[in-house]
Each structure stands twice: as C-alpha cells, then as structure tokens.
Structure 1
Amino acid sequence: MTSINPKGDQQPDTYFTGTVFANLVVTPADNLSSVIGKMTFEPRARTNWHTHSVGQVLIVTQGVGYYQETGQPAVVIREGDVVKIAPGMLHWHGASHHSSLTHTAIVPSAQPDGTTWLQPVTEEEYDAAVPATDSIPAPVHLTEAAHRNHEALWPEYKSRAKATDPELIEVFDNFAFDEVISHDELPVKTRVMVILASTIGSQALSEYKMTMDAALNVGVTPVEIKEILYQSVPYVGISKVLDFIYATNQKFTQRGINLPLAGRQSTTTRETRYDAGFAVQKQIVGARLDELYAQSPEDLLHIQRYLSANCFGDFYTRQGLDLKMRELVTLSYLVALGGTDAQIKGHVTGNVNVGNDRQTLINVLTQLLPYVGYPRTLNAIACLNGILPA
C-alpha cells in the first residue's frame, strides 16, 4: 500500500521550470493499466512542452494553474477541473502566477517512455498564457510574524482563498495572525481552544474544521477537543452540535485517532449528578446560586434543577478540562452566540471565581475578535466592564 498524500520528490530542472514535486503512486513496475502520480507546482512552476503517446488525464485537486495546447490560447484550471489530453498533443501545464497547483496525472498505459519532452516554456510564453478573462491576483504580502504564526497552526497549508481573494487574506492574516496574536501572551493552546469553542457558537463548521486541525497541530488532545464539543451542548443545543461531532469524528479517523476515545471522562452517576453539579455551580456562581433557587417560581424550579444536574452535573464535572478552561470556553460560546448578555455577565463572574482575572478575559476577547466580529466583542466588553471595571 502507498499514499498519494506526501508531496513526493522535488523534480530536477530537466523537464520543469521552477519548484515541482512528484509522487508516483502507480508505476510501470506495478504492471497495471495506468501510471498515476500526484504533481505539485509552486507558483510560476510548469512543465516543458511535451507529448504523451497514449494521452493523459489531469484532475486538479488544489490551487490554480494554466494548461495550454500548441496553437491554442491557455486556459485557467482550478480545483475540480478535469483536463483530457489527446495522444500526441503538444502541451504544457503548471501553476498560475500567484497560486500553487496540485493535480493527479493519469497516463492510461503501463508502457514506459510514453512522454516526449521538448523545450522549456519561456517566460514570455508563460506570461502571455494568462487569458484576458482571467486577471492575475496581486501577491499577498504577509508580515514575518503573520506567516510564522500561521505556519505554526497549519504547516505548509495552501489557501485557496489566497488565490481568489488575495486582498482580503492579506488584511485578515496580518491582523489576526500578527497584530492580534502580538497583543498578549495567551498560551497558543488556550488561544486555539477558545477560538474552536467560538466556531461552535457561531455555527461556522468550515472554520471549525480548520481550527480543529490547528488544535491537533499545536498539541490540544483529542479528549480536550471532545470536551469542548460536549460542553457546548447545554449552551448551543444538540441540534446545532451534531454536525460538529460528525466532522470531528471524520477528522479523528483521517488522522488515525481511534473512536470512541479511550477512558471515561464522566465522574457522576444518575444518583450523584445533582449534588455534584450543585457543588460545582456554587463554586462558579457563588452565593447568588441560593438566591436563584429562592427567587424561582415554583413552576420553574425544575429549570434551576436541570441547570445544576445537567449543565453542571453532567458536563462541568467531567475530566479532560479543568474549571478555568471550562469557564473560558463557555464564555467563548456565549460571545459567539450573541444575544446572551445576561449569561456573559454571569460567566464573567464565574471566570473570576475559578481564577481567571480581568486581563485573561480581555486577552480571550481580543483573540476572538477576528472570528466573531466587533459587535459581539464590544457587547462582551461592555458586560466585562459592568462586572469588572478597569
């Protein structure tokens, strides 16, 4: 068995211009009916002009590039495009000016030496290859810190948006990965975990998947990710969390993490969950908890008991996250949800009661800003100032 995922070996400049990697996964030695490989071209990299005696099929899997046949204008190829190249057709292909290109190449024959390599594609030919209908995106200029911080989360990640929306990526990445991160010394694991929690509150499944990858890359454990997910259920609702659970399980499987995770994190039973939950809730809410019970109408007292037994007894008493982190991720759900000012104020107090000070909460809100936006961040700051004045 082999894998198509690695980039493979960097290719010599005999048949290529620029930096090109090849991972040949089905070779003539396999005695099958095709030769199949993955090719990755860095920006501006391309093949020489060449032909295939039996033709070729290219399946673009990532990035943006160009394909040109002799005597024809070049065409732009993007993820999802399939290029069918006739036998003997003189052509070249490669990455666009400002985006890398990855494609699977299939030669429908096991016979070796079916490729005839000719002269390189000159700079003039390459620059002229951009169709008039396809503008060349401006290069994305990231600060050294933005690039370094982004690479720490997603090593060698190739952004599709960088090719299609370079101006936005330049503004966002320099802000989120340099200016905002440079604001404070919040530990990277804490930063990624609160952002992960906020994506659940925002119902941002695509960003959640990206952030989950980053979390695993910086050492957040599968148990910690699952605990952030599970604790979101009483705050966001199971109907909004299920898709995130399925996406998490899919990612864990892809990364070789066995499911269900080993070890039981629950510390309560049906008989002990209320008392244990009430005790944890009292630690977080403080003396006001007794007032909430005393002030509750009789016909709503069951809701108070649900909060103690379910929200706190079933979830807050679990292992995997300590109380300080649980309060930070809860605050992150609430900020991202919006319209939860009363609950945010309660959990600002809760954070203080478990040991998270005003500066820690300011740091968390600062890191959440690029992901939840200014209105919800400013509302949360107003709640913070109302409870913990500067």
Structure 2
Amino acid sequence: MKNSILSIVLFLLNQLLLAQEPLKYTTNMKSFTEKGIPAPKDHFTGVVWVNMNVLPEDGYNANIGTVTFEPTSRTNWHSHKSGQILFVVKGTGYYQIEGEHIQVMKEGNVIKIPKNIKHWHGASHQSTMQHIAMITDYDEDKTEWFEPVTDDIYNTFRAPVYEVENRLSPQAIMNYEELWSEYLSEEKELDPDLVEIFHNFAYDEVVSHNTMDVKIRTMIILASALGSQALSEFKMFVNAALNVEVSPIEIKEIVYQAVPYIGKLKVTDFLEATNHIFKERNIQLPLQSQSTTTIQTRFEKGYERQKEIIGSGIENLYKNSPEDLLHIQKYLSDNCFGDFITRRGLDLKTREMITLSFLIALGGTENQIKGHIQGNKNVGNTRQDLINVMTNLLPYVGYPRTLNAISCLNEILPATKN
C-alpha cells in the first residue's frame, strides 16, 4: 500500500517538474493546486489554505494535502509520530527542526522530516509557498501541536549566501543582502572563485564608487537585463527591485518602455516573468493605467515630449526626412514618445536613464546613445549622473559596451577642464 501511495505522489511531482499539462488527481477530480479552505488559526500563523487530496477513507493508509502559505505564514511547532514528507510545488519557503538553523525550500524540493521531530514550515518573507504534505502509516500516526513560531524566531533567517571561506568583504555582503535577503545561490558551492571576484567588485567596489540611490541603481540594472536579454538575471532584479521598494508600477513601466527600444518579440518573455513574480508576491493585476494620451492626442503630446528631450532639432528631422520615410518620423513621435514616454509612473529624468541603459546593453547603438546622452542632459541629468549609470552597469554589460558608451559621453558631454 505504501508503495502505491508513493508512486502516485512521485508521478504527480514528475508531471510538475517536467512542465507537462497539470495533472488533476484528487478525490473529487479537483485540481490538487486549488487553495481549498482556510487552515485552523489554532495551528497556523498568517493566511494559510488547505486542500485535502487523499484521506484514509479513500482507501489509502495516508493523509496527503496541498497547503498554500501566503508570505510570512507558517505552521506552529509540531511533530508527527510517522514523520512527514513535503513536496514543494510552488514558491519559496522555510522549514526548521528544533535546535537547528532555518532552511530554505524551493519548488522541486522534497523535504523528509523524521519521526517525532519537533519542527515547523511555511512561506518565506516575500514569496507564497505551496507544498504537498504527506503522512504515511496514518493509522499509527499522531500529530502533536505546540506553540506558534514567534516573529523573533521566524525573522532570524539569514541566507548563508556569503559563506565563501570569508573571502567576501562586509560591504559586498551588506549590499547584496539589501537586494536579496533570502536568496540561496548555488554559485557559492560550484564557482566560489567567481563569487569572490564578481561580488566584491559589483557589490563593493562599484557600488562604493558613487552614491546613486539603490532604487535607481536597481532599476537601471533591471533595464540592462532586458537589453541584454538576460531573463534569469532580470527575474532576480525584479525581486530585488521589490525588496528595495521600487513600486510594481515603476517596474512595469520599465518593461513597457522596453518595447519601442528592444521590440515586443524580445520583451514578451520578460513581461510574462514579471507578471508571474507579481502574482507570486500577491500583487494585484492589472495595475492602474499610467496612460496620459488618447488616439487623438498621442501625436501632439508625443511630439511635445520628443522636443523636450531631443530639442528643437526634431523639426529638422522632419524637414530633412525623405518623403518615403516620413512615416517613421511620425511613428517616433506618436508611438515611441506619445504612447510610451508620456506615461506616468516614472519621472522624465529616470525614463531617460532607463532608455540609455537599454541602449548600452543592446550594443551597436552608438548613434542612439549619443542622442540620448544629449536627451539626458536636456532633462536635467548631469555628466556625473551618466558616469554613475555607466559605472553601475559595467559589471553586468561588460567593458566593451561600457567603454563605447563612455566614448559617446566624452564626445557629447566632454569633461570640463580645471
């Protein structure tokens, strides 16, 4: 009987991990991923949902249920006479055995909790977590519930990201943990040399060079991840942005603004990733519209914004355009600037830094980089502001693209001589 139950659960998990069609196997033919009913407050802290999938009365000597924890929610301390197996199917969570450190559990993990061991488990600080909890030998099992897990205990979690033989500077550790307080990277075990080199450089030496606000710094790196088509790093920096209080609207505006500069084909996967993270972190979608134009006003307002950024030279672009390419100039005014750059959610100085970050990361866009260096100046960003942008992007886009951007900067906004 045990083998048949375990086979069912393993088959179910295999379907999840192989990203096939979601398997619907529950007592009432409902999806096992459904939230179910609220968990009893006597045994849980926060918002928790329970969906019982397999019960002893179904003919199995087991108790199997899907439990969904909203961020920071968790069980009380408890133990099981028969032990417990947790299959994490969504999100990131914590579990702790009494007397040991809090551990992280992620989607795809299987947690085997020994018999009669006092423990707790639940969601992480930022992520919803869903697991399938399984108890075998249910006829012999006894669950004992103890006291709630206090906030003091829960908040003792610190991700051991930087235990790389003490080779990372305290400043690098502090700046990294400001962005990701709970992220566990496999790089520290697989590539400790690279962790030492990159983190000490990117999160200490580079960050310490200037006083750029952490929110702006995170947003320009997020934009460069879009320009570089680096989806994994982009997802990391969406979470980092939320962790340092960049608003969901600001993040979405960066993604939307990428469309005219990078193209919808390349932005779609990043938009989907953003929505997935927002849903995981319980951010209600769709967000409030930030549009300021209509079909009737988009050209007029776009042209006005374009002139504000580019300057009066925009008039010459129209005058000097061949007749058969005049429509492209119109598209720049009504679509690029009218549809996107007139939107609320980001101020104009930030939008121009975001645009410049796209262009630097794309590479081969020196003509556009020069234009938007001038545009940054026109909206109030200084040469030092742009040096800060390029310096902070350097670890992520590399030296060739950064040096090309610096050459453009020196041509358009040369350093003043003392």
The 5 A counterparts of 1:92-131 are 106-110=134-138, 111-112=140-141
Kindly indicate whether residue 293 of structure 2 is the aligned counterpart of residue 268 of structure 1.
yes
Kindly indicate whether residue 228 of structure 2 is the aligned counterpart of residue 202 of structure 1.
yes
Kindly indicate whether residue 174 of structure 2 is the aligned counterpart of residue 148 of structure 1.
yes
The Cα offsets for residues 157-204 of structure 1, whole Å up to 9 and x where unpaired, read as: 211222221111111111111111101000011000111111110001
Q: 1:251 to 1:79 in 2, by over 3 A?
A: closer
Structure number with the bigger relative contact order (C-alpha 8 A, sep ≥ 6) is 1
The Cα offsets for residues 305-360 of structure 1, whole Å up to 9 and x where unpaired, read as: 10011000111111111110110000000000000000000000000000000000
- Distance in 1 of aligned mates of 2:253 and 2:229: 17
Task: Give the paired residue count.
Answer: 307
**One-letter amino acid of the counterpart of residue 335, structure 1:** I
**One-letter amino acid of the counterpart of residue 141, structure 1:** R
- Distance in 2 of aligned mates of 1:248 and 1:308: 28
The 5 A counterparts of 1:59-78 are none
Q: Which residue of 2 aligns with 1:168?
A: 194
Q: Which residue of 1 aligns with 2:213?
A: 187
Q: Which residue of 2 aligns with 1:379?
A: 404
Kindly indicate whether residue 414 of structure 2 is the aligned counterpart of residue 389 of structure 1.
yes
- Distance in 2 of aligned mates of 1:217 and 1:328: 21
- Distance in 2 of aligned mates of 1:358 and 1:279: 24
Say if 2:302 and 2:337, in contact at 8 Å, map to a contact too.
yes
Say if 1:140 and 1:166, in contact at 8 Å, map to a contact too.
no
- Distance in 2 of aligned mates of 1:356 and 1:81: 47
The 5 A counterparts of 1:5-44 are 33-34=62-63
Structure 1 length-normalised TM:
0.70
- Distance in 1 of aligned mates of 2:408 and 2:296: 36
- Distance in 1 of aligned mates of 2:357 and 2:84: 51
Say if 1:140 and 1:162, in contact at 8 Å, map to a contact too.
no
What stretches of structure 2 of length at least 5 have no aligned partner?
1-37, 68-79, 93-105, 116-130, 144-162
Say if 2:302 and 2:339, in contact at 8 Å, map to a contact too.
yes
Q: 1:257 to 1:53 in 2, by over 3 A?
A: closer
Structure 2 length-normalised TM:
0.66
Q: Which residue of 2 aligns with 1:244?
A: 270
SS at match of 2:296: coil
**One-letter amino acid of the counterpart of residue 152, structure 1:** E
The alpha-carbon deviation at position 83 of structure 1 amounts to 9.0
Say if 1:140 and 1:170, in contact at 8 Å, map to a contact too.
no
The alpha-carbon deviation at position 55 of structure 1 amounts to 8.2
SS at match of 1:234: helix
Q: Which residue of 2 aligns with 1:99?
A: none
Kindly indicate whether residue 198 of structure 2 is the aligned counterpart of residue 177 of structure 1.
no
- Distance in 2 of aligned mates of 1:378 and 1:106: 56
Q: CA RMSD in A?
A: 3.6
The Cα offsets for residues 112-168 of structure 1, whole Å up to 9 and x where unpaired, read as: 479xxxxxxxxxxxxxxxxxxxxxx96362111111111111112211222221111
What stretches of structure 1 of length at least 5 have no aligned partner?
9-24, 39-51, 63-77, 89-102, 115-136
The alpha-carbon deviation at position 35 of structure 1 amounts to 8.0
Say if 1:336 and 1:372, in contact at 8 Å, map to a contact too.
yes
